[in-house]
Chain A
Amino acid sequence: MEKQRFKTTITSKHKLFDLHLRETFKYRDLIWLFVKRDFTALYKQTILGPLWAIIQPLLTTFVFSFIFGSLAGLTTADVLGDFNIPSFLFYMSGTMLFTYFSTNVNKVSKIFIENRRTMGKVYYPRLVQPIATSLSNLIPLIINLFLFIIVWLIFLLTGSTDMQATWWLLFIPLIVLQLIVLSLGLGMIISAVTTKYRDLQMLVGFGLQLWQYASPIAYGMTMITKPHPELELLYTCINPLTPIVTTFRYAMFGIGYFNYIPYLVGWGITLLVAFIGLMLYSKTEKNFMDTI
Chain B
Amino acid sequence: MVSDELMLKVENVSKVYKLGEIGGTTLRDELQRVWAKIRKKEDPTKKIGAKNYNKGEKFKALNNISFEVKKGERIGIIGHNGAGKSTLLKLISRVTGPTDGKIYLNGRVASMLEVGTGFHEELTGRENVYLNGAILGMTKKEVDAKMEDIIEFSEVRQFIDTPVKRYSSGMYVKLAFSVAAHLDSEIMIMDEVLAVGDMAFQNKCLTKMRDVSEQDDRTILYVSHNMNTIRQLCDRVIVLNHGDIVFDGDVEEGIKNYLGVYSEDKLPVEYDMSQKKRIYEFGKHAKLLSLKILNKENATFEGNEPLNMKITAISYKKMSRGCFIFSVLDSNGARVGATSTSYFTVSENETVERTFSLDLTNLAYGRYFIYVAFADIGDDESVIEYDDPAVKVFIEIVDKRKTGFKWDKKYYGNVYFPQAKEIL
Which residues of B have CB within 8 Å of A117?
117
In this complex, what residue of A is CB-closest to B186?
Answer: A7
Pair B96/A290 contact, Cβ less than 8 Å: yes
Q: Is the CB of B111 within 8 A of A10?
A: no
Q: Does B113 make an interface contact (CB < 8 A)? A: yes
Instruction: Assess whether B147 is interfacial by the CB under 8 Å rule.
Output: no
Instruction: Write the nearest CB–CB distance from A115 to chain B, whole angstroms.
Output: 9
- Segment with Cβ contacts to A, from B87-95, B233-241, B306-314: B87-95
- Are the C-beta atoms of A1 and B111 separated by less than 8 Å? no
Q: Say yes or no for B103: interface residue by CB 8 A criterion.
A: yes
Within the complex, which residue of B96, B120, B163 is in contact with A287, where a contact is CB–CB below 8 Å? Answer: B96
Q: Mark B80-121, 1 if CB is under 8 A from A, else 0.
A: 000000000011111111111111111101011110011010
What are the interface flags for A197-215 relative to B under an 8 Å C-beta threshold, 1 for contact and 0 otherwise?
1110000000000000000
Closest-CB distance, A20 to chain B (whole angstroms): 10
Q: Size of chain B's interface in residues, with CB distance under 8 A?
A: 52
Contact mask for chain B residues 119-138; partner A; CB cutoff 8 A; 1 contact, 0 none: 01011000100110011111
Within 8 A of B (CB), among A156-215: 195-199
Complex contacts, A12 vs chain B, CB 8 Å? 97-102
- Within 8 Å by CB of B91, from A10, A14, A120, A122, lies A10
A289 CB within 8 Å of chain B: yes
Give the residues in chain A near B127, CB-CB below 8 Å: 36-37, 40
Known: A11-B102, A197-B30, A286-B97. A291 touches B113 (CB 8 A): no
A138 within 8 A of B: no
* Cα A15 to Cα B139 with chains together (Å): 28
| B91, B107, B135: residue with the most chain A Cβ atoms closer than 10 Å | B135
Number of cross-chain contacts by CB at 8 Å = 126
Contact across chains for A10 and B23 when beta carbons are under 8 A apart? no
- For window 293-351 of chain B, which residues contact chain A by CB distance below 8 Å? none
Is residue A70 contacting chain B, with contact meaning CB distance below 8 A?
no
Q: When the two chains form their complex, are residues A123 and B95 in contact, meaning their CB atoms are under 8 A apart?
A: yes
Which A residues lie within 8 Å of B6 (CB)? 4, 6
A167 to B94, CA, bound (A): 49
Quick one: given A40-B122, A123-B94, are A9 and B104 in contact (CB under 8 Å)?
yes
- B97 to A199, Cβ gap below 8 A? no
CA distance A33 to B138 in the complex (A): 12
Complex Cα spacing A196 to B103, Å: 27
Q: In the bound complex, do residue A122 and residue B104 qualify as a contact, i.e. CB atoms below 8 Å apart? A: no
Establish whether residues B123 and A37, one from each chain, have CB atoms under 8 Å apart when the complex forms: yes
> Which chain B residue lies CB-closest to A37?
B120
Q: How far is the CB of A240 from chain B (nearest CB, A)?
A: 27
A residues 1-47 near B (Cβ < 8 Å) are 1, 4, 6-12, 14, 26-27, 29-30, 32-34, 36-37, 40-41, 44-45
Residues from chain A with a CB closer than 8 A to the CB of B111 are 121-123
Are A289 and B95 in touch, CB under 8 angstroms? Answer: yes
Within 8 Å of chain A (Cβ to Cβ): is B48?
Answer: no
Q: Is A83 an interface residue (CB 8 A)?
A: no
What is the CB-to-nearest-CB distance from A64 to chain B, in angstroms, rounded to a whole number?
33
Chain B nearest CB from A122 CB (Å) reads 5
CA–CA, A214 and B380, complex, Å: 57
Distance of B136 from chain A, by nearest CB (Å) = 7
Option from A122, A286, A287 in Cβ contact (under 8 Å) with B93 = A122
Q: Which of B22, B96, B100, B130 has the most CB of A within 10 A?
A: B96
CB under 8 Å from chain B, chain A span 27-73: 27, 29-30, 32-34, 36-37, 40-41, 44-45
Q: Give the chain B neighbours of A287 by CB distance below 8 A.
A: 96-97
Contact indicator B118/A118 (Cβ below 8 Å): yes
Tell me the bound Cα distance from A218 to B138 in angstroms.
46
Which residue on chain B has the smallest CB distance to residue A42? B122
Is the C-beta of B46 less than 8 angstroms from some C-beta in chain A?
A: no
> How far apart sit A257 and B118, CA to CA, in the bound complex (Å)?
46
Q: How far is the CA of A10 from the CA of B140 in the complex (A)?
A: 27
CA distance A121 to B28 in the complex (A): 30
Residue B27 lies at the interface, judged by CB distance under 8 Å to chain A: yes
Residue A85 CB within 8 A of the other chain: no
Q: Which residues of A contact B112 (CB under 8 A)?
A: 122
B9 in contact with A30 (CB, 8 Å): no
Q: Which residues of B contact A286 (CB under 8 A)?
A: 96-97
Task: Point out the residues of chain B lying under 8 angstroms from A44, CB to CB.
Answer: 122, 163
Residues of chain B within 8 A (CB-CB) of A30 are: 131, 134-135
A window 95-123: CB within 8 A of B:
117-123
Partner of B4, one of A1, A198, A292: A1
Q: Is the CB of A118 within 8 A of B134?
A: no
* B23 touching A195, Cβ below 8 Å: yes
> In the assembly, what is the distance between CA of A40 and CA of B350, in Å?
64
Cβ–Cβ < 8 Å partners of B102 in chain A: 9-12
Q: Give the contacting residue for A6; candidates B30, B106, B163; CB below 8 A.
A: B106
5 pairs, CB–CB < 8 Å, chain A vs chain B = A7-B106, A10-B102, A11-B97, A36-B127, A198-B24
6 tightest A-B CB contacts, nearest first:
A291-B23, A6-B104, A30-B134, A123-B94, A8-B105, A10-B103
Can you add 16 more A-B contacts, CB < 8 Å, to A11-B102, A12-B100? A6-B106, A10-B103, A12-B99, A29-B138, A30-B135, A33-B140, A37-B127, A45-B122, A117-B117, A118-B135, A121-B95, A124-B135, A195-B23, A198-B25, A287-B97, A290-B23
